[in-house]
Every structure is written in structure tokens, then in C-alpha cells.
């Protein structure tokens, strides 16, 4: 095996994402060959003795999970406020140290992927791969035609302008002054969908992600999960 950077080795072994692994290295949680390492340039392979918080690091079988995340659950492996996190929903059949790919807000439900494959996670999160994510939002008010065009053509938010989106009004309730809108984006900025609707004057009351690339929640109920098939993993790895 060719030597790779320590943070990549950790991510591939399912310890955490590459960024989180870098934080763990920098704060002295990692030893290589019995010495604490805090620099990012160290390269390792399977012949090196690597410990994280005193526990030997062994390469895990790769795991790819599709979860129907409920509202009121954090997209993380732990929370400093002791709220429920997505890994709390996993049962004993998942022994691998998986973590979420990207995130869904605390009050957002829907499709979330988890893995212990760092390369796979980085591939899907990289902006250049344009992975479509479709959300269904319940919003206050009725979208005007010009507001739909703004959302579709890209809208300026804090620090960036969104790429083109697909927007479809599913239903309108004039009595309750609300709408159900389906929107497809391929970026993953924090609170992006909520911020997009806010920018055109409509507050999101409820939000759910119903698809990720070609994947859907078919056959799952809230709080449950399934493993991706080999074919699904291969298709996602091919995604350009």
C-alpha cells in the first residue's frame, strides 16, 4: 500500500471525516508508532502503528447507509448539547464508525447518507460533481412567477450566488396562505434552501429532502435506514 496522509488514512478507516480527522490530529488525539503527531504532513500505511485516543486503528469494512432522518435529530455523531444524533438511530448491525455525508438541519427531515469511506464522502460533497438534491418545502405565502424565476436563475445570498435550480409549485392554499414547493439544487451551503426562500420573501415552515441524485426514500419510514447496494455505490462513484 502506498503511504497516504494520516488524515486520509483515518477518514478511510472510518474514524471521522478528513476535516474532523485533521482536528483530532492537531489537538493531540493521534499517535503514530507510539509518538503523538500534531502535524498534517505525516504519511502512513498499514505497516504503521496508529492509535486514536489510545485505541489501535484498524481498517474497517466500507459501509454505505441511506437513512430517513426524522426532524429533531442532529446530522452528526455527537452533540455538545446532548441532543439525539443520527448515529443514535443505528442498531447493532452497524458496528462501523459511520458519519453523515453533508448534513440536514435539526428541523429538516429526509434522505441522508452515512459512510465510513472518506474518499466516497469527499467525492459526493465536492461542488464540481453537481449531485442533485430535491427538497419539498412548505412555505408561507404563494410564490409569484417572478420569484420562481429568481430561484431558478440563481439568487444572491450572503457570500455567494446560488446556481440554477429547478422549482415546481406542487400545491397552493390561499385560505391558509401557504404553498408546497419542490426545489432541486446541487449545492450544499448551510441553510441554503431556507435562505433561498427567505430571499424572495417566503419563510419555510417545514422542509424535507426527498431525493439525493437517483436515490429516494422509497420503502423507508422515518428513523429507519438501509444499506446501499453495490450498484448504487458504483453509480454514485461514477457521478460527474
Distance CA 143, CA 202 (A): 8
Per residue in 37-75, pLDDT (tens digit) is: 999 989 998 889 999 999 888 767 889 999 999 999 999
Whats the size of the chain, residue-wise?
A: 240
Taking residues 11-35, report their average pLDDT.
89
The residues spanned by each domain of the chain are 4-56, 64-127+218-238, 132-212
Distance CA 134, CA 131 (A): 10
| Type and span of the H or E element at 197 | helix 192-199
C-alpha cell at 238: 461514477
Q: At what angle do helices 192-199 and 145-153 cross, to 10 degrees?
A: 140
Q: Read off the pTM.
A: 0.79
C-alpha cell at 54: 489510545
Taking residues 178-196, report their average pLDDT.
94
Architecture of domain 64-127+218-238: 2-Layer Sandwich (3.30)
Q: Is 105 noted as a catalytic residue in this protein?
A: yes
| Identical fold between 64-127+218-238 and 132-212 | yes
Catalytic residue among 12, 79, 93, 105: 105
Say if residues 219 and 66 touch (Cβ distance below 8 Å). no
The residue with cell 496522509 is 5
With a cut of 90, say whether residue 231 has pLDDT above it: yes
Say if residues 150 and 200 touch (Cβ distance below 8 Å). yes
C-alpha cell at 108: 429538516
Give the list of residues 6+ apart from residue 174 with CB closer than 8 angstroms, or none.
Answer: 142
Give the list of residues 6+ apart from residue 220 with CB closer than 8 angstroms, or none.
Answer: 66, 67, 68, 226
With a cut of 70, say whether residue 1 has pLDDT above it: no
CATH superfamily, domain 132-212, is Alpha-L RNA-binding motif (3.30.70.1560)
Distance CA 86, CA 114 (A): 9
pLDDT of residue 240: 55
Give how far Cα 139 sits from Cα of 31, 112, 176, Å.
Answer: 50, 22, 11
Taking residues 76-100, report their average pLDDT.
91
- Top CATH class of 4-56 equals alpha beta
Residue 189: helix, strand or coil by DSSP? Answer: coil
With a cut of 70, say whether residue 23 has pLDDT above it: yes
Amino acid at each position: 500500500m502506498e503511504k497516504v496522509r494520516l488524515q486520509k488514512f483515518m477518514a478511510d478507516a472510518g474514524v471521522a471525516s478528513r476535516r474532523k480527522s485533521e482536528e483530532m490530529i492537531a489537538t493531540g488525539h493521534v499517535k503514530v508508532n507510539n509518538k503523538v503527531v500534531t502535524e498534517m504532513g505525516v504519511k502512513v500505511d498499514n505497516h504503521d502503528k496508529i492509535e486514536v485516543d489510545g485505541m489501535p486503528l484498524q481498517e474497517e469494512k466500507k459501509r454505505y447507509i441511506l437513512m430517513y432522518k426524522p426532524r429533531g435529530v442532529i446530522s452528526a455523531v455527537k452533540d455538545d448539547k446532548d441532543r439525539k444524533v443520527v448515529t443514535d438511530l443505528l442498531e447493532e448491525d452497524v458496528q462501523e464508525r459511520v458519519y453523515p455525508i453533508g448534513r440536514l438541519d435539526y428541523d429538516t427531515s429526509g434522505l441522508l447518507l452515512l459512510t465510513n469511506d472518506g474518499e466516497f464522502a469527499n467525492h459526493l460533497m465536492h461542488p464540481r460533481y453537481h449531485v442533485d438534491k430535491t427538497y419539498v418545502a412548505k412555505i408561507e405565502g404563494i410564490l409569484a412567477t417572478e420569484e420562481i424565476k429568481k430561484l431558478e436563475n440563481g439568487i444572491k445570498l450572503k457570500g455567494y450566488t446560488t446556481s440554477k435550480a429547478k422549482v415546481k409549485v406542487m400545491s397552493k392554499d390561499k385560505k391558509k396562505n401557504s404553498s408546497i414547493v419542490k426545489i432541486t439544487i446541487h449545492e450544499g451551503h448551510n441553510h441554503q434552501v431556507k435562505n433561498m426562500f427567505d430571499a424572495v420573501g417566503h419563510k419555510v415552515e417545514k422542509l424535507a429532502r426527498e431525493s439525493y441524485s437517483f436515490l429516494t426514500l422509497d420503502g423507508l419510514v422515518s428513523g429507519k435506514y438501509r444499506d446501499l447496494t453495490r450498484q448504487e455505490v458504483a453509480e454514485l462513484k461514477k457521478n460527474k
